[in-house]
């Protein structure tokens, strides 16, 4: 379990973390979201004990990174933005080196991970010849070598193609499910995390402005629900069953309801005389919530 209480950190005169507080339960995948420069990377570095906070308290599995950094580093794996690999060495040499550093005795794990991340055919090539996506996958394999109980991932999908993103994210979800690993993912590509993280924390100007599961955040920030319905119903007086409605192109209408409970009766009413081919809830995705949180915070 990770607990951060009012942690602040400044570099020169610039405050990067400003009384940041967050909690990440054991086995949870927490998405740490925020714009560039929000303090996500600094927070990960502070959690790993490589940067000292100016103030505040941190507890990681009961350890304080300021005092027990070494113990924390033994059980954490990390993927940084730059991947941190040796470009002159090949994939096997890189993983073998880090296996020694992390005290991994079972060397077959190197080859298992290379296979799992689709790098088996490229294991003898120098990393300098790898694409950004391949480097990211190898960096993730490096972070998982010692089977850490906590994973810090800083922009793990940057530079990956859609296949790579899908491979990495589904592997992470599966790994978390099988091993109960606590995962903290920093990203600003929100839609990728929507189905991976169990909860989210929004960081802005070094401060957590809100956190919770997607459902909790939707309930908190959505005052109404917009439904995009594909139907042959034609709107005449701007409402359907008493709800405001607008006609869209190609047999689509947009109806605004106040609560999820109102959706089923509304659809039932429409279906009495018309067909419905699809229904989609608009502006309830993570990205819309993110902008709502930020705009409310900036008010």
Partner 1 sequence: MNRTVLKAITKKDIKDIFRSKTLLLTIILIPVIFSLIIPAGVVSTILYFDFELDTGTQKMLDKFLLKVGNEEILAFSLKEQLVYLFVNYMMVSLFLLIPVITASTIAANSLVGEKERKTLESLLFAPITVKELFISKILSSFIPAFSVSLISFILSGIIINGLSYSTFKELIFPSMNWIVLVLLLLPMVLILTILLNVLISSRVKTYQEATNLGGIIVLPVLGILIGQVSGLFFLGLGLMVILSTIILIINLVLLRQIAKYNDRHLLFEKQI
Tokens 């994939």 found at? 91
Q: What residues between 57 and 76 interact with partner 1 by CB under 8 A?
A: 69-70, 73-74, 76
Under the criterion CB under 8 A, does residue 92 sit at the interface with partner 1?
no
Q: Give the contacts of 271 (CB within 8 A, at least 6 positions apart).
A: none
Under the criterion CB under 8 A, does residue 291 sit at the interface with partner 1?
no
Under the criterion CB under 8 A, does residue 10 sit at the interface with partner 1?
no
The only residue of 3, 8, 21, 80 in contact with partner 1, by rule CB under 8 A: 80
Under the criterion CB under 8 A, does residue 49 sit at the interface with partner 1?
yes
Under the criterion CB under 8 A, does residue 100 sit at the interface with partner 1?
yes
The pairing of strands 225-231 and 252-257 is: antiparallel
Tokens 């991970």 found at? 113
Neighbouring C-beta atoms of residue 107, cutoff 10 Å: 12
Are 32 and 203 in contact by the 8 Å Cβ rule? The answer is yes
Which of 97, 171 has the CB closer to partner 1? Answer: 97
User: Which segments of 110-164 are extended strands (E)?
Assistant: 150-154
Q: Cα–Cα distance between 262 and 74 in angstroms, integer?
A: 51
The helix/strand/coil state of 277 is strand
Under the criterion CB under 8 A, does residue 88 sit at the interface with partner 1?
yes
- The region of 55-63, 95-103, 167-175, 206-214 touching partner 1 under the rule CB under 8 A is 95-103
For residues 233-263, one letter each, b for 16 or more C-beta atoms within 10 angstroms of the residue's C-beta and e for the rest, the string is beeeeeebeebebeeeeeeebbbebeeeebe
Under the criterion CB under 8 A, does residue 15 sit at the interface with partner 1?
no
Which of 85, 172 has the CB closer to partner 1? Answer: 85
Which of 66, 267 has the CB closer to partner 1? Answer: 66
Least distance (Å) from partner 1 to the CB of residue 113? 16
Q: What residues between 124 and 163 interact with partner 1 by CB under 8 A?
A: 142
Which of 83, 110 has the CB closer to partner 1? Answer: 83
- The region of 48-56, 195-203, 265-273, 279-287 touching partner 1 under the rule CB under 8 A is 48-56
Pure H helices in 123-253: 132-144, 162-179, 190-193, 214-221
Q: What string marks each residue from 199 to 238 as x (binds partner 1 by CB under 8 A) or -?
A: ----------------------------------------
The only residue of 36, 62, 103, 250 in contact with partner 1, by rule CB under 8 A: 103
Q: Give the contacts of 195 (CB within 8 A, at least 6 positions apart).
A: 169
Under the criterion CB under 8 A, does residue 52 sit at the interface with partner 1?
yes
Which of 5, 74 has the CB closer to partner 1? Answer: 74
CA distances (Å), origin 36, targets 21, 133, 186, 206, 275: 19, 20, 10, 11, 45
**Site of interaction with partner 1 (CB under 8 A):** 11, 45, 48-52, 69-70, 73-74, 76, 78, 80, 82-89, 97-98, 100-103, 142
């Amino acid at each position: 379990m990770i607990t951060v209480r009012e942690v602040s950190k400044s570099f020169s005169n610039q405050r990067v973390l400003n009384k940041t507080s967050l909690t990440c339960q054991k086995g949870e995948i927490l998405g740490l979201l925020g714009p560039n420069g929000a303090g996500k990377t600094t927070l990960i570095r502070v959690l790993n004990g490589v940067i000292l906070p100016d103030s505040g308290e941190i507890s990681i599995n009961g350890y304080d990174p300021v005092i027990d950094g070494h113990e924390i580093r033994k059980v954490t794996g990390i993927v940084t933005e730059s991947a941190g690999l040796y470009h002159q060495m090949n994939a096997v040499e890189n993983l073998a080196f880090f296996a020694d550093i992390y005290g991994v005795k079972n060397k077959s794990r190197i080859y298992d991970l290379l296979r799992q991340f689709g790098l088996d055919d490229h294991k003898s090539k120098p990393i300098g010849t790898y694409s950004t996506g391949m480097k990211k996958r190898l960096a993730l394999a490096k972070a998982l070598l010692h089977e850490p109980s906590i994973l810090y991932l800083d922009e793990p999908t940057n530079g990956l193609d859609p296949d790579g993103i899908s491979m990495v994210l589904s592997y992470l979800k599966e790994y978390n499910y099988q091993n109960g690993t606590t995962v903290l993912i920093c990203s600003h590509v929100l839609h990728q995390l929507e189905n991976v993280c169990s909860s989210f924390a929004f960081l802005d100007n070094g401060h957590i402005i809100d956190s919770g599961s997607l459902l909790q955040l939707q309930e908190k920030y959505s005052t109404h629900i917009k439904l995009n319905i594909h139907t042959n119903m034609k709107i005449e007086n701007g409402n359907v069953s008493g709800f405001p409605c607008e006609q869209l192109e190609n047999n689509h209408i947009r109806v605004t309801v106040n609560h999820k409970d109102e959706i089923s009766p509304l659809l039932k009413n429409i279906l009495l005389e018309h067909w419905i081919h699809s229904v989609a809830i608009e502006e309830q995705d993570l990205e819309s919530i993110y902008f709502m949180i930020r705009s409310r915070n900036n008010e």
